[in-house]
Amino acid sequence: MGMPAPLQEWTAEMARALPDDGNRYEVLDGELFVTPAPRLRHQWALLDLLHQVHAYVEREQLGRTLLSPADIEYSPRRLVQPDLFVVPFAPGKPPRDWREIRDLLLVVEVLSPGTAYADRHSKRRIYPEEGVPEYWIVDLDARLIERRHPGEDRPQICDEQIVWQPRADRDPLTIALPAFFAALPGTDGER
């Protein structure tokens, strides 16, 4: 489960030293979170979002769209593995190691029973503090996306559509949420 391991101050280095056992390890302000492999429905949603976000990011030449596993280390006490994220293009050579990536344009987490606490509490605080301008929490059961921006106390609840426009000089990405959720296997639109 995505619950903190008690009684020890964890670091990113300590988490990286753990065995490659199929779990994802994150360090959120010194707490170790261990998450087992996600449910199949989680992965279907993530794949659909990946296709839509990736196509948009490529078309608008904004950066690169990536998936976890990925060790994004903000500090020795902050190692995150966002489900889906966008790394903006930066001047110079492209990054060759996870440690070179800190700036993110978008982070998307798809809720699952093992990650809901970390996604809605710890990461909700961490991502804005680290300068992530947009954070989506995809709730498959409620069929909505909680959209968060730095400095906002409450999320924007999106159940009809979500619009992402990271640059004012580019067209926005618009995702119709009823169609997105209906197309997922295991929902009303079973396929």
Domain boundaries of the chain, sorted by first residue:
38-182
pLDDT at 181 over 80: yes
Residue entry with tokens 């949603």: 45
User: What's the predicted TM-score (pTM) here?
Assistant: 0.85
pLDDT of 23 reads: 80
Mean pLDDT, to the nearest integer, of 52-56?
97
Question: Of 42-46, 99-103, 131-135, 138-142, where does mean pLDDT reach its minimum?
Answer: 99-103
Q: Which fold has domain 38-182?
A: tt1808, chain A (3.90.1570)
State percent of the chain over pLDDT 90: 57
Confidence of residue 4 (pLDDT cuts 50, 70, 90): low
